Structure 1
Amino acid sequence: MKVDLVAQAIAKWLKDYADNAGVKGYVVGVSGGIDSAVTSSLCALTGLDVLCVEMPIHQHKDHVTRAQEHIKQLKARFDNVRDVRSDLTPVFDSFIAAMPESEMNDLVALTQGNTRARLRMTTLYYHAGINGLLVAGTGNKVEDFGVGFYTKYGDGGVDVSPIADLLKSQVYKLGKYLQVPESIMTAAPSDGLYGAEKTDEDQIGASYDELEWAMKQVDKDKTVDAFKGREREVLNIYLTLNRRNQHKMKPIPVWEFPTQLQ
């Protein structure tokens, strides 16, 4: 991958889109992870107004430290970057307190995690609205079109997706070129919705390298019968999640009004 040309192409695409939309630039939720670091860096390359937003909700200190390190570095390199911190912990706690009491289980934990993501989406659109900006998404190709590893109307609710056609390995290559802090480059990927100790691999059951391999096998029309052991397990994980999360990847179903009933 020609990382310099890819970075320039994405930055130009972002600038052209914002100019055509008549907006000042982009808002990006910065989490301390590689995807948001690369996305915010690409937005910074446009020369347009870029607002980095921290949105902690009972956030692990490691995530906070990495996010702040990245923002500080980005602001030092680009004078078009600014930041704001919206602490959503009290908002989240008030929301949960207003809901019926439930004994914690996997379903409740998942629902509360998705609620965090949706509160952040609302926050990003608030900042975008009052500043005349668009929301830049941070999802990569494996997450957005492979296993659907994102929250519907949460981190999936964006205006543009600059890295959604890049595999995770390609995002890391861009990260190195864009001088993303080493602490972020080497950190285990995590959505931060369940604490730093629960990584993406823990939740999915496979690493991003394995999922990229599985995507390539599907593109080659390979089936699980062609593999054994761990490879067969990984392909099963990928296919199961891809099938389960199609409702995120496809347009919302609309009942079509038959002519004979009108």
Structure 2
Amino acid sequence: MNTEKVAEYIINWLKDYAINAKVKGFVVGVSGGIDSALTSTLCAETGLPTLCVEMPIHQAASQVSRAEEHIAQLKKRFDNVNEVRVDLTATFEDFKNVVPSIEDTAKVDLSLANTRARIRMTTLYYLAGINSALVAGTGNKVEDFGVGFYTKYGDGGVDLSPIADLMKSEVYELAAYLGVPNSIQVAQPTDGLFGDSRTDEDQIGASYDELEWAMKMQNEGKSADDFTGREQEVFKIYIRLNTINQHKMQPIPVCEIPENLK
């Protein structure tokens, strides 16, 4: 990948989109992870107002410190970057206290994890509204179009997706080129939605390098029978997630009424 040219292309794409949409700039949720760090840096590079938003909900101290380090670095490098911290922990707890619960803790935990992401999405759109800005998505290609590893109407609810055509390895390459803090580059990827130390790999069962390989194999028309051992295991993980998460990747189904019934 020609990192310099790719970075320039995305930055120009972001700037042109914002100008044509007649908005002032961008709002980005910054988590302390590589994807949000790259996205916020690309937005900052446009020269347009870029608001970096921290939205902790029982967040691990390491994630908070990485996010703060990154935002501080961006503000030092770019005059157009501002920040706001919205602690949503109390909001999340209030939500838990007013909704019904069930004994199936696994279902409750997953629903609450997705709720965290959706509360954050609502916050980003509030801030975008009062700042005449666009919500910039932070999903990469493997997450958005491979395994669907994001929350529908949570971190998947955005106005535009500047890095969604980049594989995770390309995200790292571009982040290094643009000077994202090393602490973020070496951190284990995590969605931080469960309030514990589980990583993306813990949840998915495969690393991003393995998922990239599986995505490539799927695009080449391969099947699980073409592989053995760990490769077959990874490919099956990828195909299962790609299949069950199609509802996130496809347009919302619309019940189209036949003309003769109208």
Which position in structure 1 is the counterpart of 2:228? Answer: 228
Residue 14 of structure 1, CA deviation: 0.2
SS at match of 2:146: helix
Structure 2: unaligned runs, 5 residues or longer = none
How many angstroms does 1:101 deviate by?
Answer: 3.3
Partner of 1:139: 139
Could you tell me which amino acid in structure 2 is paired with residue 144 of structure 1? D
With structure 2 as the length reference, what TM-score do the two structures score? 0.99
Q: Report if the CA contact (8 A) 2:101-2:108 is conserved.
A: no
Q: 1:27, 1:124 within 8 Å by CA — same for their partners in 2? A: yes
Q: Deviations over 1:23-61 (max 9, x none)?
A: 000000000000000000000010000000000000000
Change beyond 3 A, Cα 1:102–1:235: same
Query: How far is 1:195 from its partner?
Result: 2.9
Cα deviation, 1:80-132, whole Å, max 9, x if unaligned, reads: 00000000000000001001133362111110000000000000000000000
Aligned to 1:202: 202
Q: Which residue of 2 aligns with 1:120?
A: 120
1:75 is matched with 75
Look up the match of 1:31: 31
CA distance in 2, matches of 1:108, 1:204: 19
Provide the rounded CA distance (Å) in 1 between the counterparts of 2:106 and 2:173.
35
Cα offset for 1:238?
Answer: 0.3
Q: Distance in 1 between matches of 2:15 and 2:58?
A: 34
The residue aligned with 1:129 is 129
Q: Secondary structure at the match of 1:198?
A: coil
The answer to whether the 8 A contact 1:140-1:165 is kept is: yes
In structure 1, list runs of 5 or more residues that go unmatched.
none
Coordinate RMSD, CA, aligned: 0.8
Contact 2:190/2:199 (<8 A) preserved? yes
Letter in 2 for 1:163: I
How does the TM-score come out when normalised to structure 1?
0.99
Structure-1 residue corresponding to 2:4: 4
Assess if the C-alpha contact under 8 Å between 1:30 and 1:40 holds in 2: yes
User: Contact (CA 8 Å) 1:63, 1:196: kept in 2 or not?
Assistant: no
Q: Matched residue pairs, number?
A: 262
What is residue 92 of structure 1 aligned with on the other side?
A: 92
Q: 1: distance between equivalents of 2:125 and 2:191? A: 19
Instruction: Supply the distance in 2 between the matched residues of 1:174 and 1:94 (Cα, whole angstroms).
Output: 39
Residue 258 in 1 paired to residue 261 in 2?
Answer: no
2:142–2:211 CA contact under 8 A, matched in 1: yes
Bigger mean CA offset, 171-180 vs 195-204: 195-204
SS at match of 2:28: strand
For residues 71 and 213 of structure 1, the distance between their equivalents in structure 2, rounded to whole angstroms, comes to 32
Q: Report sequence identity in percent.
A: 67
1:179-190 matched pairs, under 5 angstroms? 179-190=179-190
| Closer/same/farther in 2, CA of residues 141 and 78 from structure 1, 3 Å limit | same
Could you list the per-position Cα deviations for residues 224-251 of structure 1 after superposition, in whole angstroms to 9, with x for gaps in the alignment? 0000000000000000000000000000
Distance 2:36 2:101 in 1: 34
**Per-residue CA shift, 1:129-177, capped at 9, x if unaligned?**
0000000000000000000000000000000000000000000000100
Kept in 2, the 8 Å contact 1:62–1:196? The answer is no
Matched, 1:240 2:240: yes
SS at match of 1:134: strand
